[in-house]
């Protein structure tokens, strides 16, 4: 059985809400899509130079602390804005070096990428407590590596939707039952593609259409929040945004409305680190 837990909420609050900013900037186009032309680099530049400051201003307006998952490449390329994220009291989590897919990497290659990311974050004074895989996927070694380097939580898996849990390794078979191993100590604070702006909004030439109406996305995001609020105790709602996607004029206004809505219904806006600190199992 999965070991899942709850989040201890401050009095009067009904759901822990983390707004995550996966600050990929140019790294996602290089590492995930192999798209390095000036137009793709300009999309990342928009995310770093225009959208990230917009988001920081929005979070300051509502006094919300968020978690920024930042690849080392973004730290090294757009250092000043990453320092500003830290200066404003937001949490920073590890998010690879150049947005690599960890699934095909050898143990040594994956460890090297993990260390490169740690070194970049160290240059802006960050020792991350948590990790988010750039691909929302793992190699068989990822969890062991995260434990080796002292990470307390991960936020990349989908074994639950609205409660944190302890992830387990799974031995995969096609001709008999799969076998789960013992749970890791690390706490998984799960993500969901339904709570990610990128597939729904971001247009990729010749690929993903994106461009969903913001009203549809607001309705889905609010509906998931309502379920967590009304049907569950000690739930966590983990929203994944990307500055270059959510920071556009139409989308940032939708995000502001969502913040207002969730605040009115008792959201506790917390970093992933705070969710980890308040995790308990019954």
Contact call for residue 22 and Zn ion (CB under 5 A): yes
The secondary structure of 149-204 as a DSSP string is TT--EE----S-SSS-EE---EE--SSS--EE-PPPSSEE----GGGBHHHHH---
Burial, 82: exposed, middle or buried (Cβ in 10 Å; 0-12, 13-18, 19+)? buried
Part in contact with Zn ion (CB under 5 A); list of ranges 14-22, 115-123, 178-186, 192-200 = 14-22
Contact call for residue 202 and Zn ion (CB under 5 A): no
State the number of binding residues for Zn ion (CB under 5 A): 3
The CA distance from 134 to 32, in Å, is 8
Show the site string, 154-183: x = touches Zn ion by CB under 5 A, - = not. ------------------------------
Question: Is the separation of the CB atoms in 167 and 146 below 8 Å?
Answer: no
The CA distance from 52 to 13, in Å, is 28
User: Which CB sits closer to Zn ion, 198 or 276?
Assistant: 198
User: Which CB sits closer to Zn ion, 100 or 161?
Assistant: 100
Smallest Cα–Cα separation from 191: which of 100, 69, 55?
Answer: 69
- Between the two ends of the chain, the Cα-to-Cα distance in Å is 14
Bridge partners for 240 per DSSP = 20, 196
Shortest Å, Cβ 166 to Zn ion:
24
Part in contact with Zn ion (CB under 5 A); list of ranges 17-25, 142-150, 194-202, 205-213 = 17-25
Part in contact with Zn ion (CB under 5 A); list of ranges 121-129, 131-139, 254-262, 265-273 = 131-139
The secondary structure of 81-130 as a DSSP string is HHHHHHHTT-EEEE--SS----TT--HHHHHHHHHHHHHHHHHTT---SE
Shortest Å, Cβ 120 to Zn ion:
15
Part in contact with Zn ion (CB under 5 A); list of ranges 19-27, 100-108, 116-124, 216-224 = 19-27
Q: Where are the beta strands (DSSP E) in 181-278?
A: 187-188, 235-241, 267-269
The CA distance from 48 to 205, in Å, is 21
Part in contact with Zn ion (CB under 5 A); list of ranges 33-41, 54-62, 133-141, 210-218 = 133-141
User: Which CB sits closer to Zn ion, 5 or 20?
Assistant: 20
Part in contact with Zn ion (CB under 5 A); list of ranges 15-23, 38-46, 206-214, 254-262 = 15-23
Show the site string, 134-153: x = touches Zn ion by CB under 5 A, - = not. x-------------------
Contact call for residue 100 and Zn ion (CB under 5 A): no
Contact call for residue 91 and Zn ion (CB under 5 A): no
Tokens of 49: 């130079």
Contact call for residue 24 and Zn ion (CB under 5 A): yes
User: Which CB sits closer to Zn ion, 160 or 241?
Assistant: 241
The CA distance from 59 to 261, in Å, is 15
Shortest Å, Cβ 137 to Zn ion:
12
Binding site for Zn ion (CB under 5 A): 22, 24, 134
């Amino acid at each position: 059985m999965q070991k899942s837990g709850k989040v201890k909420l401050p009095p009067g609050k009904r759901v822990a809400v983390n707004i995550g900013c996966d600050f990929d900037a140019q790294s996602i186009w290089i590492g995930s899509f192999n798209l390095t032309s000036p137009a793709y680099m300009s999309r990342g530049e928009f995310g770093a130079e225009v959208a990230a400051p917009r988001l920081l201003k929005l979070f300051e307006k509502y006094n919300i602390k968020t978690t920024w998952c930042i690849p080392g490449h973004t730290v090294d390329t757009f250092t000043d804005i990453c320092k500003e994220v830290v200066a404003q009291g937001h949490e920073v989590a590890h998010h690879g070096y150049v947005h690599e897919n960890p699934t095909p990497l050898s143990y040594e290659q994956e460890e090297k990428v993990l260390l490169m990311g740690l070194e970049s974050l160290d240059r802006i004074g960050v020792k991350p407590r948590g990790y988010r895989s750039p691909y929302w996927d793992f190699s068989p070694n990822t969890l062991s590596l995260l434990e080796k380097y002292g990470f307390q939580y991960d936020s990349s898996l989908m074994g639950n939707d609205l409660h944190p849990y302890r992830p387990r390794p799974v031995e995969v078979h096609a001709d008999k039952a799969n076998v789960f191993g013992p749970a890791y100590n690390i706490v998984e604070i799960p993500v969901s593609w339904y709570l990610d702006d990128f597939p729904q909004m971001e247009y990729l030439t010749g690929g993903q259409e994106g461009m969903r109406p913001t009203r549809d996305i607001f309705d889905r995001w609010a509906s998931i929040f309502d379920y967590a609020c009304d049907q569950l105790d000690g739930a966590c709602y983990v929203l994944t945004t990307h500055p270059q996607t959510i920071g556009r004029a139409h989308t940032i206004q939708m995000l502001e409305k969502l913040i207002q809505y969730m605040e009115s219904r008792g959201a506790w806006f917390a970093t992933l680190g705070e969710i980890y600190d308040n995790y308990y199992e019954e």
